Amino acid sequence: MLVELNNATKKLCVIGDPVLHSKSPLIQNTMLQALGLDYIYLCQPVKVGEAEHWLACAKLAGYAGFNATMPHKEDLFPLMDELDEDARLYGSVNTVVLREGRALGYNTDGVGFHQALLHAGADPKGRRVVLLGSGGAAKAVALKLAQQGAASVTICNRTLEKARALCARAPEVLSPAGFDIDTLRAQAARADLLVNCTSLGMTGGMGQFDDLSFLEALPRETPVCDLIYAPLETALLARARELGHPTLNGLNMLLYQAIFALEHFTGTSINAPAMAARLAPLLNTPPETVPLDRTNGAPRPLKWCMVTAAMVH
């Protein structure tokens, strides 16, 4: 994509390690362009343990803010001058606004998930939720579900200790369970929302569910949500759809959390459903390519996160 710059263009970025696969620059630059805002959003690798160093660099370099992904979200938490309610709830920060030398920390993961659910007509209020996984994403999702009035959230995780530790954060709503097929089947039988927060089924990930038969125990019409957005339909979602359940992938969560982050960065109010609808096709298509590198004649693919700058005088 072509991004116009001038000497006063404000800088934003995403930090992480690894981060070069991130779709945030594509999403954010597309939104900035659509809204006519004079910002550029870059991709900045920052090694584990270097969040504090990066924060000082970003202030010095005059960044307007940045997003953070693995492994920096929790390291940034104690470095913030102010924190929003969700960042405090999760103990982690995914959006940092830099203003007048101060760092304001937000976390838009949970609200992104919740808005995506509402958008799909699956308000979690009063529902008995079965949540698979206990990693970073599960933490934001589970605590947001508890905050938004889910009747109960059973957290099934391979490493039971991690599920127990997460449940201790809101024991009145969250309860831990194992990840064996008998437990999954028993839990599914009394669920009225099932959310996969494990990385099972992710493109390029470490594995797939060995056995999806627990889906057969779900009551009719129980929505099944997968946080994964690549592929757009995981094996879990495909099976749930075959069984007649409404399904929701992680694409809108990804888009909504990015939209809310941009609102914080720029102070601009964005029509989130309209913007998400505009962005979604971007992530359904393979990366663009450019024909030839002028310097050596070798083909050079244009990656998702690469931005071509056109200087404007």
Residues serving a catalytic function are 73
Task: Tell me the pairing of strands 95-99 and 65-68.
Answer: antiparallel
Q: Is 23 annotated as a binding-site member?
A: yes
Q: What span, in angstroms and rounded, lies between the C-alpha atoms of 242 and 75?
A: 42
Residue 271 neighbours by CB under 8 Å, 6+ apart: none
> Which of 78, 126, 171, 207: binder of ligand NAP (CB under 6 A)?
207
Per the CB < 8 A criterion, the answer to whether 56 and 32 are in contact is no
Q: What span, in angstroms and rounded, lies between the C-alpha atoms of 56 and 61?
A: 9
Minimum distance of ligand NAP from residue 60's CB (angstroms)? 30
> Which of 138, 188, 193, 218: binder of ligand NAP (CB under 6 A)?
138
Minimum distance of ligand NAP from residue 304's CB (angstroms)? 15
Minimum distance of ligand NAP from residue 168's CB (angstroms)? 15
Q: Contact between 31 and ligand NAP (CB under 6 A)?
A: no
Point out the residue whose Cβ comes nearest to ligand NAP. 135
Query: DSSP per residue over 234-262, as a string?
Result: -HHHHHHHHTT--EE-SHHHHHHHHHHHH
Residue the block writes with tokens 């390029």: 204
Q: Contact between 253 and ligand NAP (CB under 6 A)?
A: yes
User: Helix, strand, or coil here: 83?
Assistant: strand
Q: Contact between 164 and ligand NAP (CB under 6 A)?
A: no
Q: Is 49 annotated as a binding-site member?
A: no
Binding stretches for ligand NAP (CB under 6 A): 133-138, 157-159, 162, 179, 197-200, 202, 206-207, 227-229, 250, 253-254, 257
Residue ranges of the binding site? 22-24, 69, 85, 94, 109, 133-137, 157-162, 227, 229, 250, 257
